[in-house]
Amino acid sequence: MKRLVFLSCLLALIFGSATAFCQDDDYSARKFDEQKDSISIPFEFRGAWLSTVESIDWPKTRIMLKEGKKVSAEQREQQKKDLVSLITKIHRSGCNAVMFQVVSNTDALYPSKILQWAPSLTDTPGEGPGYDPLALAVKTAHSLGMQIHAWINPLRIGKLDLPRRADNICYKKSELVQQHGDRLYWDPGQPKVREYLGELATEIMTKYDLDGLHIDDYFYPDGLKGTGEQAKSKKGEKVWNDEALFQKYGQGKTLDEWREGNIDEIVRIMHEAVHKAKPFAVFGVSPAGRLVNTQALYADPRNWAKQGTIDYLIPQIYWQHGHQIADFKLVLDSWAGILEDVPVIVGMAAYRYKSKAFPEFSEYVLQVKECREAPYLDNEFRQNVIGQCWFTTHNIITDEFTSSMLNTFYQDAAIAPNIGNSGASVASPDVFRMGGHLRWGEVKGADRYAVYRLEETSEKTAGGGIVWKAVFQEAFHGFIYKCKEGGNYIVVSCRGGAHSERSNVIYIKDK
């Protein structure tokens, strides 16, 4: 009797296990239906600002020039190695884009015909390091499958005592320069300043295979707006004197309207220069986190959205939940109604970690969650919040911060989304099955290919089909991929930071 009971239990266990196996096998063997099913691919912009002004992130040491202006090879190689290491660590943190600051105080981190070399590179003002940092950064970022945008400060010249050669452009064109406090600025009321910025954008985008150009919130100095007249001077401070320019170019506008129009014109000219030099690249701006703060600098992103002169915006929302004036969620939600369909990337305050406002990493986890749940536009498939950008690099690449990112919101790798017309630069691959492998031909212009496996979700399409989630597997430079398990697969081709539409779906049987 005991043997009979035992056999009965054993048969039940075997039958139950077999049934479960068949169910799992049926589930995994389900084929994608091109007519009814759809695919959700988790593209997300995950950027980091790599700051070079005052060597915040890089370079930490200057190259000491020897007699005859010969660069120390050892110091040069160390500086290059440090830059490659920083970009590699950004990638390891889960990010897929780097905003590399190449012009901070009207100086350059590349051999420019317009600007002199940045003084942070060597111990001799205006002298180069013996290599091209921007070229190295582009090569490194793209080899890792990352986007790279050149980041410049448009109007900032810097402190009066910043090391400069006597033939620096700011001295040669001093009639275009304003002093405010202990700093120098280009005057945006001067038409030639706007022309200069267009030429600078053209030079950068023509010389390098960049995914975009990016400017931050250095517009008119803070404190000028709101007087209704020329800003009143503080003790020992020179006022911003553009009265003559206003009389010449104001054309019936108020002073505030004219100054705001000057910033609009800078944005328009730089946007046009970027797209003319590289049609598939993008131009973006990173204003202050609240609209009222950026308006105080005579910069109004609403104008740029209406005029079509920006491809993306990165408001610096550097506050925590519960802030009395600028609660993170309230500020985030405010941008959705301001910008219509301009993609928004949220500037994140990594530098404030473990401060009184950000004592725990959980604050960032909640903020990223709310970025991903941000309000939709009229078309539910066009969400205007497309990712995050972290300030600054040295804060996110610590072992603790990187580990926290990878264990919470960046567990799964993601390719940055196409912005503007960037995706038109590369075609999708035609994929076919070869045993347990995927195979495709070379796509012109593509520099790598990303493979995704499709997983079923509980969501249904309007036609009753399945919504599949594309799970990133690998991105590489070859044309063949060995599938680790059965299922449905797709491939996208990539060029720089852009990607194609998905390929056809290939079904691989379970082994």
For residues 369 and 346, give the distance between their C-alpha atoms in angstroms, rounded to a whole number: 12
Write the DSSP symbol of residue 466: E
Q: What is the pLDDT of residue 424?
A: 82
**E strand residue ranges, 51-146:** 97-103
pLDDT at 320: 98
Res 11: pLDDT: 41
Determine the Cα–Cα distance for residues 140 and 144; give it in Å rounded to an integer: 7
d(CA 332, CA 335) in angstroms, rounded, equals 6
C-alpha to C-alpha distance for 57 and 347, rounded to whole angstroms: 17
For 45-417, CATH gives 3.20.20.80
In the block, tokens 């030099």 appear at: 277
Q: Which amino acid is at 494?
A: C
Give the helix ranges, DSSP H, for 278-373.
Answer: 291-295, 301-307, 328-339, 362-372
The residues, ordered by sequence, that sit 6+ positions from 79 with a Cβ below 8 Å of its Cβ are 59, 61, 63, 121, 129
CB 314 within 8 A of CB 348: no
Say what the pLDDT of residue 168 is.
Answer: 95
CATH class of 28-41+423-508: mainly beta
* Cα–Cα distance, 436 to 20 (Å, whole number): 25
What number of CA atoms fall less than 13 Å from residue 345's CA on the CB side?
A: 30
Maximal CA-CA distance, the chain: 109
What is the model's pLDDT at position 68? Answer: 58
- Which tokens in the block code for residue 457? 């979700």
* CB half-sphere exposure, 419, CA atoms < 13 A: 30
Pairing outcome for strands 506-508 and 212-215: unpaired
Nearest to 112 by CA among 208, 209, 178, 215: 208
- Predicted local confidence at residue 234, as pLDDT: 53
What's the pLDDT score for residue 177? 97
Query: In the numeric block, which tokens belong to residue 456?
Result: 């079923």
Please write the tens of the pLDDT for every residue from 234-282.
554 557 889 999 999 999 999 999 999 999 999 999 999 999 999 999 9
Residue 274 near residue 288 (C-beta atoms within 8 A): no
Domain ranges in the chain? 28-41+423-508, 45-417
According to DSSP, the residues that pair with 481 across neighbouring strands are 438
| Cα distance between residue 70 and residue 61, in whole Å | 17
Q: Is 181 exposed, middle or buried (0-12, 13-18, 19+ CB in 10 A)?
A: middle
Which residues of 41-190 form beta strands (DSSP E)? 45-50, 97-103, 147-152, 156-159, 177-180, 183-186
Cα separation, 207 vs 223, whole angstroms:
37
Q: How many C-beta neighbours within 10 Å does residue 30 have?
A: 16
CB 85 within 8 A of CB 110: no
By DSSP bridging, strand 437-440 and strand 480-482 are: antiparallel
- What's the 3-state SS for 312-328? EECCECCCCCCCCCCCH
Phi-psi region of 498 (alpha: psi -120 to 50; beta: other; left: phi over 0): beta
Question: Taking Cα atoms as reference points, which of 126, 278, 279, 262 lies closest to residue 197?
Answer: 262
| CA separation for the pair 57, 52 (Å, rounded) | 6
pLDDT at 3: 45
List CB contacts of 124: < 8 A, sequence separation 6 or more.
Answer: 65, 69
Length of the chain measured in residues: 511
The whole-number mean pLDDT for each consecutive block of 10 residues of the chain, a chain of 511 residues, reads 43 40 47 94 95 96 75 88 98 97 97 97 92 97 92 96 93 95 95 98 97 95 68 57 94 95 98 96 96 95 95 97 96 83 94 97 97 66 80 98 98 90 88 96 92 95 94 92 95 89 94 66
